[in-house]
Structure 1
Amino acid sequence: MEAKKGYKAIAKNLPMSPTKIRPIADNIRRKPYSEAVAILENLPNKGAKLLKKVVLSAAANALHQNNMLDEDALYIKELFVDNGPIQKRMWPRSRGRADRLLKRSSHISVVVDELGSTGE
């Protein structure tokens, strides 16, 4: 029988490059939920705001699915920032030439779990 994997939240097609979000995600990975939210609230980046939304959603999923859980008992078990679809646009240049403008997007997956769980 497979062990329980935690509570998950996913945000797809976020309009920001994953390379800008990943350094922020590295700051909160494997941290307690309350500490992770405090870190994200104090960072000025757009990526911190996007990550905070997904982390709050994962915690809300955990608390809704299991009424016995406490917010202080949660931690960020897994956090992935993956590439989403890339929109290709034309960028006009001089002498009738053009460059490609790549508008990147991201998929963020967060799994929160209880601190004392034996899911690992």
Structure 2
Amino acid sequence: MAIARLSHARITPRKARIIANLIRGKQVARAIDDLRFLHKSGAKQFFKLLVSAVANAEDTGDVNVDNLVVTKVTVDQGPTLKRWRPRAMGRANRILKKTSHIHLEVAEVRS
């Protein structure tokens, strides 16, 4: 079992959970292929995180990479960046730029 974490990712948790649901429960090779060709903004971040988790699994012990499965993916909300946008007549609207904390876990499934 290996874990990889990404904190303060500049993607909203709602958009990140869509990608997380796509790769949860899949074999690592299949999940990497899906992320490589996915047209979503956070797919590149998830791809790098998944490759990092696989590298962590290889580093911790004798693990067969072909048997690794994405067992757990959680996306939590991180701190929100608050910005201002000028509007008409001297007013301003607040813009909330949300961030995410992503935790990805891979484990070897013996078949």
TM bracket, shorter-chain basis? over 0.9
Residue equivalent to 1:70: 64
What is the aligned partner in structure 1 of residue 80 from structure 2? 86
1:39-54 aligned at under 5 Å gives the runs: 39-54=34-49
Using the TM superposition, give the Cα deviation of residue 19 of structure 1 relative to its aligned residue in structure 2, in angstroms.
1.1
* Structure 1 residues 18-37: aligned runs within 5 Å: 18-37=13-32
Give the counterpart letter for 2:32 in structure 1. Answer: V
Number of residue pairs the alignment of both structures matches: 111
1:103 aligns with 2:104: no
Q: Which runs of 5+ in 1 are unaligned?
A: 1-5
Moved segments of 4+, more than 2 Å: none
Aligned position for 1:14:
9
Identity %: 39
Runs of 5+ consecutive residues of structure 2 not aligned to the other structure: none
Q: Which amino acid aligns with 1:86?
A: T
Q: Deviations over 1:34-87 (max 9, x none)?
A: 000010001122211111111111110001101x21111100010011111101
* Alpha-carbon distance in 2 for matches of 1:115, 1:60: 17
TM, length-normalised to structure 2: 0.95
